[in-house]
Amino acid sequence: MSSKRIKLAQDVLKIEANEILKASCKISNEFSEAVECILGCEGRVILSGIGKSGHIAGKIASTFSSTGTPSFFMHPGEASHGDLGMITEKDIVIFLSNSGQSQELIVLLPLIKRIGAKIISITGDTNSTLFSESNIHINSSVTKEACPLGLAPTASTSLMLALGDALAVCVLNERNFGTEDFARSHPGGSLGKIVHVKDIMINLKSTPKINLESTIKDAIEEITNKKLGFTAIIDKQNIPKGIFTDGDLRRSLLNRISLDTPISKIMKKTPFTLSGSQMAIEALKLMEKQKITSFLIIREDKSLVGSLTLQSLFRAKIL
């Protein structure tokens, strides 16, 4: 009995995965038009569906909202009893229906068109009323449901959810929606925690550092001992004047530069620095923007107090 259950579970996952994979090969220009339409929306994106499709619509609405696109779910039954008043001509309505013939949605079509909102439908039937009456249509047809009876929406709802995720991801990508934006809408998660650099930075003792009179050989020893992939170069007042990284070392060796060369002649003279009072999420944003993996942390008097690496952010679950 156990082996039969496992086999059936495997079959369900394979069927749903195969339907999503097949749909990925059928993504058309209409999908791109839907993304463009959402990007240009001056109002909100409203998702609606009935039954299982309604549950999927609610999840997609939540995904849009958490990734920078104001969105909400509207129950079609409630829409017929007043909630239609929430829709404006600047909005986009996305209808989800496998058959494309859900009467609860079809009855809303002329009313929404009168308001002036655009309609995008995600349906499995290209000959349906929703398909023909929508401004943009995305095909969610499947060849087989995972349900052995072929009755319960399974592969079809999984595909709808995947298509909704694909829309949301394409939109957030083109909006340059980043981790800091995500944190603002997720204050209950790790990304929303108020963590300051000073709380997670590497202390001064563990931060690689050498003085201005040091050589490349000294830098290699310090980088090797501290194992952070870089060393700060400081003056007599403990103020960072430069930084030397693993990458700088490799380039030096390729250029056959002597290990006795003063580090001051080859170091990067403008190291990226942060204050310990800055938020860790700011550090992450700057790392992404500058394409670097570490910062030197300084006090108000510019003296070195520690360092912060990408690994520090990983450990603090900021990333």
- Domains with residue ranges and CATH for the chain: 2-177 (3.40.50.10490), 191-315 (3.10.580.10)
Q: At 315, is the pLDDT very low, low, confident or very high (cuts 50, 70, 90)? A: confident
What does the alpha-carbon distance between residue 31 and residue 251 come to, in Å, rounded to a whole number?
46
What does the alpha-carbon distance between residue 281 and residue 318 come to, in Å, rounded to a whole number?
7
> Strand 202-203 vs strand 230-234: parallel, antiparallel, or unpaired?
unpaired
pLDDT over 80 at 178, yes or no:
no
Closest CA to 63 of 158, 186, 157, 159: 186
Per-residue pLDDT reduced to its tens digit, 195-225: 899 999 999 999 999 999 999 999 999 999 9
pLDDT over 60 at 193, yes or no:
no
Per-residue pLDDT reduced to its tens digit, 37-73: 999 999 999 999 999 999 999 999 999 998 889 999 9
Q: What percent of the chain has pLDDT over 90?
A: 74
Q: What percent of the chain has pLDDT over 70?
A: 95
Is residue 163 within 8 Å of residue 140, measured between CB atoms?
yes
Neighbours of 290 (CB within 10 A): 10
Q: Which residues contact 149 (CB under 8 A, 6 or more apart)?
A: none
